[in-house]
Amino acid sequence: MPEFKIVVSDPKTGRAKQVEVKDPQAQALIGLRIGDVFDGSLIGLKGLKLKITGGSDRAGFPMHPTIPGGGKRQILLSSPPGFHPRREGERRRKTVRGNMITEDIVQINVVVVHEEEASAKQ
């Protein structure tokens, strides 16, 4: 039974809040990917459209938007997410998770997308 901590960021106010979602509501989020827009009423925030921007799993491995699926992979990174280089040109092999929400994910980062912006992108 999945359980997620969702961090909702509002760019208008510059504030973020956490929403905990348990089994029936969390089940609706499984299978969504980074970049997907969903209705906020799924998690109890009526009237909002939310866009998935990332997340992390139980061990702290971040989700990466370019990796398909929900599994872990070791890839060579030169920029965020998953690696912040200290020197110019630095690259490292890091473990990251795919861009799909699975039961292994514990935190999902979302940003509020207002109604007119959401309809223009779709």
> 3-state DSSP call for residue 68?
coil
> 3-state DSSP call for residue 43?
helix
Residue 98 CB neighbour total at 10 angstroms: 20
Look-up: residue for tokens 């909002």? 48
State phi, psi for 99 to the nearest 5 degrees.
Answer: -90, 5
- Kindly report, residue by residue over 7-21, the tens digit of the pLDDT: 999 888 888 989 999
pTM of the model: 0.84
- Kindly report, residue by residue over 73-113, the tens digit of the pLDDT: 999 999 999 999 999 999 999 999 999 999 999 999 999 98
Question: Distance of CA 24 to CAs 4, 32, 72, 88, 101, Å?
Answer: 11, 15, 25, 46, 15
| Rounded Cα gap, residues 47 and 41, in angstroms | 7
Residue-wise DSSP of 77-99: ESSSSS---SSTT--EEEEEE-S
